[in-house]
């Protein structure tokens, strides 16, 4: 909105012949001065989009969310350019995604991503994209040759990481709507870097204090994004006073659930029933994936039970969940037979349908394949969680959008957005295995 559109230019006052009271002139010029200069395109944009808050975005099915990393090479030392980030943003916008989750600020990617979004919005004020900005938290000696000290934090690195996030949130208040302290930073299987809940609590309280002091937008929501067990939904060893205080301190809980991993580690839900062997392959697979989604729902429910015993009003959203499309290891043909594009597509649709139906957000993991995650093992599942391949091909989960020409005119790495398997479903299905036959509890 142009706030001056109904106020005459002060120069026109000079043409008023009958003004006898200088006070009118003073009033009008003073009013204009109070606005400063005329709003620029960017000022207008920020005034428009800044009105959308996290409370309006989260849980709103109009704002679909996804986890995003734009790294295209097998190392994060080669960062995506702003031009490449804009390519991705246009693709995700066309896919109906309006909220992105990032993971850290110590790489330039997050800074450049926010700049790319801002530039796209300057060119087109209707381009709507918001960010859940991740703040990476490490324990003392994380990622070093020394033994990690999980009872202390990497103070210097964490302090710098938090400050960068605050600076970015203040620079781009129309884009950054959520700050997430830590990524799976409390779960004890993150043996390289996890910290105790008191560290996360410290930084959450710090950010909440900045909001109260007017040093950070009061509408920015503060959370921590962690495994369901870390939020009290699993082993009681995670239950402690600091976790209770953390639940009270965050604006909402960002919860992770990964049935795919538990097709190997805890496969109580996984398998093909003998009674399903006579069914068409696709129907048997749908039943297996329905049980996988039910497993995710149960993890959400057990976590909610604990969280709401501490704070009955605390919102809980899915901060991360996903299903890899390929694995040559634990989840592949010689393992749990979990990973392929068909199962990934079913999981994606089922999770979207469920979370939309109960009014919670789902930050699906992830937008594009990233091969740095398991650089020495290209067949590893970590490299294949994307809904798009690195070359821009849309996996089965998004074939319907290709049919609708949603990506027409868009490219990634110079490639148009096409279906994997040349769009041949029968060809795709040849790479899909039924889970092993077993009796499920």
Domains within the chain, CATH numbers bracketed: 1-39 (no CATH), 52-429 (3.20.20.80)
Bridge-partner residues for 322, per DSSP?
365
Whole-number pLDDT of residue 50: 52
Per-residue pLDDT tens digits for 141-185: 999 999 999 999 999 999 999 999 999 999 999 999 999 999 999
Mean pLDDT value of segment 254-262: 99
User: What secondary structure does DSSP assign to 352-370, as a single string?
Assistant: HHHHHHHT--EEEE-SB--
Residue 398 pLDDT level (bands cut at 50, 70, 90): very high
Q: Cα-flanking dihedrals φ and ψ of residue 121, to 5°?
A: -70, -30
**How does residue 441 score in pLDDT terms, banded at 50, 70 and 90?**
low
Note whether 372 and 71 are within 8 A (CB). yes
Mean pLDDT, range 394-420, rounded to an integer: 99
Assess whether pLDDT exceeds 60 at residue 36: no
Between β-strands 149-153 and 139-140, what pairing exists: parallel, antiparallel or unpaired?
A: antiparallel
Buried b (16+ CB within 10 A) or exposed e, 303-337: bbebbeeeeeeebbbbbbbbbbbbbbbbbbeebbb
Q: Which of 384, 436, 439, 67 has the alpha carbon at shortest distance from 264? A: 436
Specify whether the CB–CB gap between 438 and 272 falls below 8 A. Answer: yes
Instruction: State the burial class of residue 423 (Cβ atoms within 10 Å of its Cβ: 0-12, 13-18, 19+).
Output: middle
Residue 17: its pLDDT value, please? 36
Coil/strand/helix, residue 58: coil
For residue range 118-144, what is the model confidence (pLDDT) as tens digits?
999 999 999 999 999 999 999 999 999
Which position has the token pair 């349908």? 353
**According to the model, what pLDDT value does residue 354 have?**
99
Mean per-residue pLDDT over the chain, rounded:
91
Tell whether the torsion through CA atoms of 266, 357, 281 and 395 is positive or negative: negative
Name the least confident of 48-57, 158-167, 288-297, 332-341: 48-57
Calpha distance 135→296 (Å, rounded): 25
Residue 308 above 50 pLDDT?
yes
Closest CA to 127 of 13, 42, 10, 3: 42
Model confidence pLDDT, tens digit, residues 367-391:
999 999 999 999 999 999 999 999 9
Task: Kindly tell me if the per-residue pLDDT of 29 is higher than 90.
Answer: no
Select from 366, 395, 372 the least CA-distant residue to 80.
372
In tens, the pLDDT along 186-209 reads: 999 999 999 999 999 999 999 999
pLDDT attached to residue 439:
67
Question: In the predicted model, what is the mean pLDDT of residues 410-435?
Answer: 98
pLDDT digits (tens, 9 = 90+) for 61-96: 999 999 999 999 999 999 999 999 999 999 999 999
- Which residue would you say has higher pLDDT here, 214 or 25? 214
Q: For residue 9, what pLDDT is reported? A: 38
Tens of pLDDT, residue by residue over 348-365, are: 999 999 999 999 999 999
Among candidate residues 267, 183, 264, the one with its CA nearest the CA of residue 230: 183
Q: What is the pLDDT of residue 438?
A: 78
In sequence order, the β-bridge partners of residue 412 are 415
More confident residue, 313 or 20: 313
Higher per-residue pLDDT: 396 or 37: 396
Mean pLDDT of 309-336: 99
Cβ-proximal residues to 67 (8 Å cutoff; 6+ apart), any chain? 100, 101, 103, 320, 322, 363, 364, 365, 366, 367
């Amino acid at each position: 909105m142009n706030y001056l559109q109904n106020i005459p230019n002060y120069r026109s006052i000079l043409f008023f012949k009958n003004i006898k009271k200088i006070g009118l002139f003073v009033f009008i010029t003073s009013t204009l001065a109070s606005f400063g200069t005329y709003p620029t395109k960017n000022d207008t944009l920020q005034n428009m989009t800044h009105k959308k808050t996290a409370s309006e975005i989260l849980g709103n099915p109009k704002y679909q969310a996804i986890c995003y990393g734009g790294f295209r090479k097998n190392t994060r030392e080669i960062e995506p350019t702003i031009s490449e980030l804009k390519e991705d943003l246009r693709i995700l916008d066309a896919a109906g995604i309006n909220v992105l989750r990032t993971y850290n600020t110590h790489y330039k990617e997050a800074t450049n991503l926010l700049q790319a979004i801002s530039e796209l919005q300057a060119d087109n004020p209707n381009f709507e994209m918001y960010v859940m900005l991740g703040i990476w938290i490490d324990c003392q000696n994380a990622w070093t040759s020394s033994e990690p000290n999980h009872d202390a934090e990497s103070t210097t690195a964490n302090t710098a990481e938090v400050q960068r996030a605050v600076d970015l949130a203040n620079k781009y208040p129309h884009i950054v709507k959520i700050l997430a302290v830590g990524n799976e930073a409390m779960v004890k299987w993150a043996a390289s870097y996890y910290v105790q809940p008191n560290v996360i609590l410290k930084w959450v309280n710090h950010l909440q204090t900045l909001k109260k002091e007017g040093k950070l937008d009061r509408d920015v929501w503060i959370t921590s994004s962690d495994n369901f067990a870390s939020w009290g939904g699993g082993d009681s060893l995670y239950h402690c006073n600091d976790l209770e205080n953390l639940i009270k301190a965050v604006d909402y809980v960002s919860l992770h659930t990964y049935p795919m991993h538990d097709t190997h580690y805890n496969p109580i839900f996984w398998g093909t029933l003998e009674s399903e062997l006579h069914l068409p392959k696709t129907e048997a697979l749908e039943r297996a994936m329905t049980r996988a989604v039910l497993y995710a729902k149960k993890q959400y429910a057990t976590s909610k039970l604990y969280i709401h015993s501490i704070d009955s009003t605390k919102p809980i959203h899915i901060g991360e969940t996903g299903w890899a499309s390929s694995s040559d290891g634990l989840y592949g043909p010689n393992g749990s037979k979990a990973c392929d594009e068909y199962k990934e597509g079913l999981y994606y649709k089922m999770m979207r349908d469920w979370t939309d139906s109960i009014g919670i957000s789902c930050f699906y993991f992830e937008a594009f394949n990233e091969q740095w995650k398991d650089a020495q093992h290209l067949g590893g599942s970590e490299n294949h969680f994307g809904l798009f391949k690195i070359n821009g091909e849309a996996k089965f989960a998004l074939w319907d959008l290709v049919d609708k020409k949603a990506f027409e005119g868009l490219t990634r790495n110079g490639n148009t957005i096409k279906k994997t398997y040349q769009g041949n479903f029968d060809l795709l299905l040849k790479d899909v295995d039924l889970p092993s036959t077993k009796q499920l509890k």
